[in-house]
Amino acid sequence: MITLYQQHDSGNCYKVRLVLSHLGRPFRTVAVSSFDGSTRRPEFLARNPIGKVPTVELEDGRFLAESNAILLHFAEGTRLLPADAYDRAKAYEWMFFEQYSHEPAIAVRRALSVYPERRAEATPARMAQLLEAGNRALAVLERRLESADWLAGGAFSVADISLYAYTHMAGEGGYDLGGFPAIGRWLGRVAALPAHTPITAT
């Protein structure tokens, strides 16, 4: 069975639970966290030398890290990755956008807001800069979703899973999604899918 090494309330880890839920693939979870030092212990570093979650152990015992790489691996050959070459490239484009322009603002501002361990980093200048960068990323998403139901091609895909994870928690980081109505409707469409699982589900 697939094993997911994770911190449950991390959006990057949630992405993996979401894709496995949509694919109906069973998995077990093992809790590790940077806050209690367990991602720096030798037994975890043997699984992922970078010491980051999510890390997945596949059925054959091999390991894979980086949330979006895990999404693409599980989605390969399924309806969650567009079959058309250009649509698939657009899925890649959104997923690299997520890791470069979206997550480093929206996930980080949330982390600085909700984790006491990181509060010292939440200086006014840093928080202002993260707010501006995150709103810029949200505006890019909004623009796409004003004219399309899904991010890549015409159907729900791993690109939507990737962007959904931290976007749906943006409020915890102080972002006001009220100004992004198309994003709001898209969040509702994702959450209404039959195989959807909320982040709080175990």
Check residue 103 for interaction with a second copy (CB under 8 A). Answer: yes
CB of 80 closer than 8 Å to CB of 193: no
Residue spans of alpha helices (H) in the chain: 11-23, 42-45, 67-75, 85-97, 103-114, 124-145, 158-167, 181-191
Check residue 38 for interaction with a second copy (CB under 8 A). Answer: no
Check residue 157 for interaction with a second copy (CB under 8 A). Answer: no
Q: Pick from 33, 101, 113, 197 the residue near a second copy by CB under 8 A.
A: 101
Which structure tokens are listed for 119? 């509060």
Location of structure tokens 């010491």: 51
Q: How many residues bind a second copy (CB under 8 A)?
A: 31
Check residue 148 for interaction with a second copy (CB under 8 A). Answer: no
Q: Pick from 2, 58, 190, 199 the residue near a second copy by CB under 8 A.
A: 58
Rounded to a whole number of angstroms, the minimum distance from the CB of residue 62 to a second copy is 6
Check residue 96 for interaction with a second copy (CB under 8 A). Answer: yes
Going by C-alpha positions, the residue among 100, 98, 99, 130 that lies closest to residue 112 is 130
Check residue 69 for interaction with a second copy (CB under 8 A). Answer: yes
Going by C-alpha positions, the residue among 99, 93, 114 that lies closest to residue 170 is 114
Which structure tokens are listed for 99? 């890791």
- Which residues of the chain form contacts with a second copy (CB under 8 A)? 49-50, 58, 62, 64-70, 72-73, 76, 85-86, 88-90, 92-93, 95-97, 99-101, 103-104, 140, 143
